[in-house]
Amino acid sequence: MRRYFSIFVYLTLFLVKCDEIEDMCNFLDSKVQPNNFRLLSKSILPGKGNKVKGDAGKIGVIGGSVEYTGAPYFSAITSLKAGADLAYVVTTESAANVIKTYSPDLIVYPYLNSKYASKIRALLPKMDVIVIGPGLGREPETLHLISDIIEDCKNLGKPLVIDADGLYAISKNTTLIKNYPCPGVIMTPNLREANKLMTAVSRNDSNWYSYWGDCVAVLVKGEKDYFYTNMSTYSWIATGGGSERRAGGQGDILSGALGTFYHWALNTEICKNESQIQLAQSVAAYAAAKLTRLSNYKAYVLHGQSMLASDMINQIHPAFESTFSLVKDKNATLG
């Protein structure tokens, strides 16, 4: 008897949860409210009885250089801490061993050199989402190689997250990702980088990002985060969390988390809608922005002005639980 009762309770809870999500899908016609995004982002978590089956993702990070070894590390380790199964880093020979000493959890390939182009090409198919740019630097030879890699990804139809010097490469040659096929690209510029991109495409209207086509979205990071997609109803502004302090490396944390969530969102049929891809991009970016802002806030509460990106990494776990409402946390909805 008791057993039937608990089955009844679980079933009711399950149906209520499905209903909640379905209600939200009905709202997609009007502007999607932040609170709906909160619930939608919960629906992309793999496992635990929802539709996602199989692995939690293999995320590739292509970046790093002799000067910058922290950026690709922060990005890759965050993709793991957010829940991906594997993180690959493709970096220069000069950076590879350094990054390995930071963490035994990462798989690091020292191939970021044109002489290994064919080795990189062979690696790309096994990555679910590829983050391009953290710590890449601006050596002309590197940028040339990155252009070839983006071209390969385009042919493979790999979803991309492009940040930092990857965006510099795009602003130097905007046609690289023009009409990039779905599941597309999410660029994550800060305000300065966003202005550079706007100048590069000579567009100064509110739809400047549509230059690249239907499946290229933009998340502009700053005091507030702005997400833009061709489906304007899926655009949003994220506030809350964050702090006075922006730690160097925070953008890398965002790009790594976004890599993982992008994969999950693409694997979830979030709402039955013909604009699945744009919705998946929007929900993934929302989850990544929220997780990053909350990790920043939590690390700032603990460390104040001394907060560093590594302190934020240590707050990913509690921030994840709050972002996806696995625990009640008033801090998650601040602002």
- Going by the annotation, the residues of the binding site are 135, 190-196, 221-225, 242-252
3-class DSSP assignment, residue 263 = helix
Tokens of 128: 């679910």
Distance CA 262, CA 57 (A): 10
Distance CA 181, CA 202 (A): 22
Tokens of 85: 């199964």
Query: Which residues contact ligand NAG (rule: CB under 6 A)?
Result: 28-29, 151, 173, 175-176, 195, 198, 204, 214, 230-231, 233, 273-275, 298, 301, 318, 329, 331
Instruction: Report which of 67, 110, 106 is spatially closest to residue 90, judged by C-alpha positions.
Output: 110
> Which CB atom, from 6 or from 204, has the smaller least distance to ligand NAG?
204
Cα 131 to Cα 72, 77, 166, 231, 325, distances in angstroms = 9, 12, 9, 23, 27
Question: Shortest gap between Cβ of 47 and ligand NAG (angstroms)?
Answer: 24
> Which CB atom, from 85 or from 329, has the smaller least distance to ligand NAG?
329
Question: Shortest gap between Cβ of 147 and ligand NAG (angstroms)?
Answer: 6
In the chain, the amino acid numbered 282 is S
Pick out the residues of the known binding site for ATP.
221-225, 242-251
Question: Shortest gap between Cβ of 104 and ligand NAG (angstroms)?
Answer: 29
Question: Shortest gap between Cβ of 173 and ligand NAG (angstroms)?
Answer: 4
> Which CB atom, from 29 or from 141, has the smaller least distance to ligand NAG?
29
> Which CB atom, from 103 or from 233, has the smaller least distance to ligand NAG?
233
Element (H, E) at 219: strand 216-220
> Which CB atom, from 75 or from 281, has the smaller least distance to ligand NAG?
281
Are the C-beta atoms of 34 and 236 separated by less than 8 Å? Answer: yes
Pick out the residues of the known binding site for (6S)-NADPHX.
135, 190-196, 252
Contacts of 79 (CB under 8 A, 6+ apart): 57, 59, 61, 87, 131, 256, 257, 259, 260
Give all strands (DSSP E) within 9-128, no chain letters: 58-62, 86-90, 107-109
Question: Shortest gap between Cβ of 28 and ligand NAG (angstroms)?
Answer: 4
> Which CB atom, from 217 or from 287, has the smaller least distance to ligand NAG?
217
Question: Shortest gap between Cβ of 10 and ligand NAG (angstroms)?
Answer: 27
